[in-house]
Amino acid sequence: MRPRKIEKRLDPEYLTPIYRMALLQFEQAADKLALDPNVRKRFTDPKRAIMVNIPIRMDDHSVEVFHGYRVQHDTTLGPSKGGIRYHPDVNLGEVSALAMWMTWKCALMGLPFGGAKGGIRCDPHALSRNELQRLTRRYTAEMIQFIGPEIDVPAPDVGTNEQIMAWMMDTYSQFRGYSTPGIVTGKPIRIGGSLGRTEATGRGVVYCIMEAMLHLNMQAEGKRAVIQGFGNVGANAAAILHKEGIKVIAVSDVKSGLYNSNGLDIPALRKHLENNHFVESFPEGDRVTNAELLELPCDVLVPAALSEQITKENAERISCTILAEAANGPTTPAADEILRARGIFLVPDVLANAGGVTVSYFEWVQGLQNLFWTEEEVNNRLEKIIKKAFQSVLALSLSEQVDMRLAALMLSIQKITEAKKARGLFP
Ligand code: GLU
């Protein structure tokens, strides 16, 4: 299915399955737009990719070396923006695909940012707090020339959190000699984080689900949702859906899932997880595997874990009306085709999970101005931006008779292409 010309032109180290997937999505949108071939070439490879070896002293005094990455896909609209992932599977191809998706996501939301992503190949759960701190500080030091509030602004992603952002901000500030909150977003509130940032991705997912329901003439009350992944995004999406009167009938984490056809008590589950690691220890509900969970009949399915979960192997058995991609890249292009043919309404990742980076933008703006907003202001502005983006994607999808992913990518690529043309090519 992949056009051969691209395979030849690309550096082989990018060509992991997930980068192929990002490229194929891009190619489909570029074809539909009849994109100028000179611009097309500039989008297929990331603008800059930095790979570092990070030596740290472990608690037992031995030295371990970790692989770290930061990929800046495009900076046409502003500094690049995107999270840092700590996970054993992190590699250059994955980080590059995620960086490309950030480019589309920021442009679609109308944010003055390009796209980036970073990561360290490690198992954060196997490292002590001190080891994690040393790893984060050394990674930041290795990246110091390539990041900055006007250059590239990291944020949390899978396996990282506000504490990691605080260490990054402190390390960067030590090098500069003054406190620089604008270097990262997703920081703790007391060092310049934004109110509402922690819930923002989950909140954005729910705004998209509500808009999709409106479009499909569905009442929210009593509808059933299934959520794969109960990290920051999945847990917040579950809590907000629960508040909206939607029954969350199943959730899962890396180990296993929990199912109750009458709806799980999400507030009680979240309380339980304050002192317990895994959802399986929650007394209420039946056990299901992650694979079974994805195929449970429901109205709304929210993959909020890792990429490539819905594939050609299980797409025929996915049994939902709306699929809202809270994770990045959970659906492969082959699965996309099957879901489209089956009439499932898919809200793509670059739209569904864009609430996080949108409030990251608010955090960056508040930090630069030293003027902080109320949570209500943050949520209201987020709601407006996400709903407007949803409606533009929906309108294009209807007028061009394409699915929501293709429409979203077409809008983003069009916007950045216009900006590239206005700026011209240096020299
Ligand atoms: N990691 C998040 C994402 O994939 C947030 C990025 C950000 O806030 O910069 O969208």
Report the mean per-residue pLDDT for the chain.
Answer: 96
Same domain, 205 and 168: no
Same domain, 211 and 285: yes
pLDDT bin (cut points 50, 70, 90) of residue 5 is low
Q: Which of 157, 169, 382 to mutate to test the pocket of ligand 1 (most atoms within 8 A of CB)?
A: 157
User: Is residue 269 in contact with ligand 1, taking CB distance under 6 Å?
Assistant: no
Q: Which of 86, 201, 306 to mutate to test the pocket of ligand 1 (most atoms within 8 A of CB)?
A: 201
Residue 34 C-alpha to ligand 1 middle, in angstroms? 29
Residue 103 C-alpha to ligand 1 middle, in angstroms? 11
Which is it for strands 247-252 and 345-347: parallel, antiparallel or unpaired? unpaired
Q: Is residue 161 part of a domain?
A: yes
User: Quick one: pLDDT at residue 13?
Assistant: 75
* Residues contacting residue 261 through CB under 8 Å, at least 6 positions apart: 249
Q: Which of 302, 337, 352 is the last residue of a domain?
A: 352
User: Is residue 80 in contact with ligand 1, taking CB distance under 6 Å?
Assistant: no
Same domain, 348 and 205: yes
Q: What is the pLDDT of residues 128-168, one digit of tens each?
A: 999 999 999 999 999 999 999 999 999 999 999 999 999 99
User: Is residue 83 in contact with ligand 1, taking CB distance under 6 Å?
Assistant: yes
Measured distance CA(220)–CA(218) in Å, rounded: 6
Could you tell me the CATH number of the domain that includes residue 136?
A: 3.40.50.10860
What the block records as the tokens of 282 is: 């929650």
Same domain, 164 and 225: no
Same domain, 112 and 232: no
Which residues span the domain enclosing 75? Answer: 47-178
Measured distance CA(176)–CA(197) in Å, rounded: 26
Q: Is residue 4 part of a domain?
A: no
* Residues contacting residue 424 through CB under 8 Å, at least 6 positions apart: none
Q: Which of 117, 357, 412 to mutate to test the pocket of ligand 1 (most atoms within 8 A of CB)?
A: 357
What the block records as the tokens of 185 is: 């977003």
User: Is residue 309 in contact with ligand 1, taking CB distance under 6 Å?
Assistant: no
Same domain, 76 and 108: yes
Q: Total structural domains in the chain?
A: 2
Same domain, 236 and 314: yes
What is the per-residue burial (b if ≥16 Cβ within 10 Å, else e) of 168-195? bbbbbeeeeeeebbbbbbbbeeebbbbb
Same domain, 206 and 174: no
Residue 95 C-alpha to ligand 1 middle, in angstroms? 12
pLDDT bin (cut points 50, 70, 90) of residue 310 is very high
Give residue for tokens 């920051």: 232
Segment 360-380 mean pLDDT: 97
Segment 159-180 mean pLDDT: 97
Segment 311-323 mean pLDDT: 98
Q: Is residue 28 part of a domain?
A: no
Segment 296-307 mean pLDDT: 97
Measured distance CA(251)–CA(259) in Å, rounded: 7
Q: What is the pLDDT of residues 7-36, one digit of tens each?
A: 556 677 788 999 999 999 999 999 999 999
**Does residue 171 register a pLDDT over 80?**
yes
- State which ligand 1 atom lies nearest to the alpha carbon of 186: 8
Segment 104-116 mean pLDDT: 98
Same domain, 80 and 132: yes
pLDDT bin (cut points 50, 70, 90) of residue 6 is low
- State which ligand 1 atom lies nearest to the alpha carbon of 354: 10
Residue 202 C-alpha to ligand 1 middle, in angstroms? 12
**Does residue 390 register a pLDDT over 70?**
yes
**Does residue 424 register a pLDDT over 50?**
yes
- State which ligand 1 atom lies nearest to the alpha carbon of 153: 9
Q: What is the pLDDT of residues 235-247, one digit of tens each?
A: 999 999 999 999 9
Segment 336-360 mean pLDDT: 98
Same domain, 212 and 336: yes
Residue 344: left (phi > 0), alpha (psi -120 to 50), or beta?
beta
**Per the residue annotation, which of 47, 81, 105, 117 is the catalytic one?**
117
Same domain, 126 and 234: no
CB 325 within 8 A of CB 303: yes
Q: Is residue 158 part of a domain?
A: yes
User: Is residue 84 in contact with ligand 1, taking CB distance under 6 Å?
Assistant: no
Measured distance CA(351)–CA(211) in Å, rounded: 12
User: Quick one: pLDDT at residue 12?
Assistant: 73
User: Is residue 81 in contact with ligand 1, taking CB distance under 6 Å?
Assistant: yes
Residue 109 C-alpha to ligand 1 middle, in angstroms? 13
CB 183 within 8 A of CB 79: no
- Amino acid residing at 216: L
Q: Which of 145, 178, 211 is the last residue of a domain?
A: 178
Q: Is residue 116 part of a domain?
A: yes
User: Quick one: pLDDT at residue 15?
Assistant: 83
* Residues contacting residue 413 through CB under 8 Å, at least 6 positions apart: 26, 29, 30, 33, 35, 43, 104, 107
Active site (annotated) includes residue 117: yes
User: Is residue 96 in contact with ligand 1, taking CB distance under 6 Å?
Assistant: no
Same domain, 167 and 211: no
Residue 385 dihedral angles phi and psi, to the nearest 5°? -65, -45
pLDDT bin (cut points 50, 70, 90) of residue 305 is very high
Residue 155 C-alpha to ligand 1 middle, in angstroms? 6
Q: Which of 94, 101, 102 to mutate to test the pocket of ligand 1 (most atoms within 8 A of CB)?
A: 102
Q: Which of 332, 352, 372 is the last residue of a domain?
A: 352
DSSP, residue by residue, 307-321: SS-B-TTTGGG---S
User: Quick one: pLDDT at residue 1?
Assistant: 47
User: Is residue 328 in contact with ligand 1, taking CB distance under 6 Å?
Assistant: yes
Could you tell me the CATH number of the domain that includes residue 318?
A: 3.40.50.720
Q: Is residue 381 part of a domain?
A: no
Q: Is residue 359 part of a domain?
A: no
Residues in the chain: 427
Q: Is residue 71 part of a domain?
A: yes
Measured distance CA(188)–CA(202) in Å, rounded: 18
Q: What is the pLDDT of residues 212-256, one digit of tens each?
A: 999 999 999 999 999 999 999 999 999 999 999 999 999 999 999
